[in-house]
């Protein structure tokens, strides 16, 4: 079966959640999934659930901090670069049917690695490997080579009324 390149982007909620849903569906079909999270290091509820209940999804985080309100540190940059090298090796290993690059669009936005580097890897990926890329700010070059692009658009969000992220819903 041919693997495609999918992108979930936009300023709305649900990009990582959509990728997790696809990963869950893939494991239900007996596929092996590698879930790489750039810029994240926290143990979110989905990480706990995957580790405890769904061992067919291997998850790795390549971040030191969640710097949504701060500037990335050199440690953030180094972690993302290390993650990029590891996912490159993972893509070419042939061990996984589905590989999720969660927040890779943001890593590109912050120049942790270049879109050209990622595109080069994607052009050479094994034909049967499905690649899912998430994060705001998907660049046109990446959108152009993708087979499926979904934009999550925020229409209304309770966060704007001061509601904080809730355990089990947003994290």
Domains of the chain: 5-161 (3.40.50.300)
Mean pLDDT of the residues in the chain: 91
Q: How confident is the model at residue 100 (pLDDT cuts 50, 70, 90)?
A: very high
Over range 75-104, report the average pLDDT: 94
Q: d(Cα 85, Cα 115) in Å, to the nearest integer?
A: 14
Q: Which of 25-29, 35-39, 144-148 has the lowest mean pLDDT?
A: 35-39
- Burial grade of 77 (CB within 10 A; 0-12, 13-18, 19 or more): middle
pLDDT of amino acid 64: 73
Q: How confident is the model at residue 96 (pLDDT cuts 50, 70, 90)?
A: very high
Q: d(Cα 138, Cα 33) in Å, to the nearest integer?
A: 22
List, in sequence order, every residue forming a beta bridge with 7; answer none if it has no partner.
Answer: 133, 149
31-71 pLDDT tens trace: 999 999 998 777 788 888 888 888 889 999 998 766 566 77
Higher pLDDT, 87 or 155: 87
Q: d(Cα 38, Cα 52) in Å, to the nearest integer?
A: 21
Going by the DSSP 8-state scheme, the letter that residue 160 receives in this structure is G
pTM of the model: 0.91
pLDDT of amino acid 66: 60
């Amino acid at each position: 079966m041919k693997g495609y390149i999918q992108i979930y982007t936009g300023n709305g909620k649900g990009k990582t959640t959509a990728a997790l849903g696809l990963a869950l569906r893939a494991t239900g079909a007996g596929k092996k999934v590698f879930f790489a999270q750039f810029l994240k290091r926290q143990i979110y509820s989905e990480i706990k659930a995957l580790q405890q209940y769904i061992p067919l999804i291997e998850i790795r985080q390549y971040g030191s901090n969640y710097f949504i309100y701060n500037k990335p540190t050199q440690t953030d940059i180094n972690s993302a670069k290390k993650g990029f090298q590891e996912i490159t090796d993972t893509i070419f290993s042939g061990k996984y049917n589905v590989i999720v690059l969660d927040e890779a669009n943001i890593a590109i936005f912050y120049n942790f690695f270049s879109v050209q580097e990622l595109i080069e890897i994607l052009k050479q990926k094994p034909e049967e490997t499905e690649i899912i890329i998430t994060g705001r700010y998907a660049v046109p070059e990446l959108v152009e080579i993708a087979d499926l692009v979904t934009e999550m658009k925020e229409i209304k969000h309770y966060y704007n009324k001061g509601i904080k992220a809730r355990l089990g819903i947003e994290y």
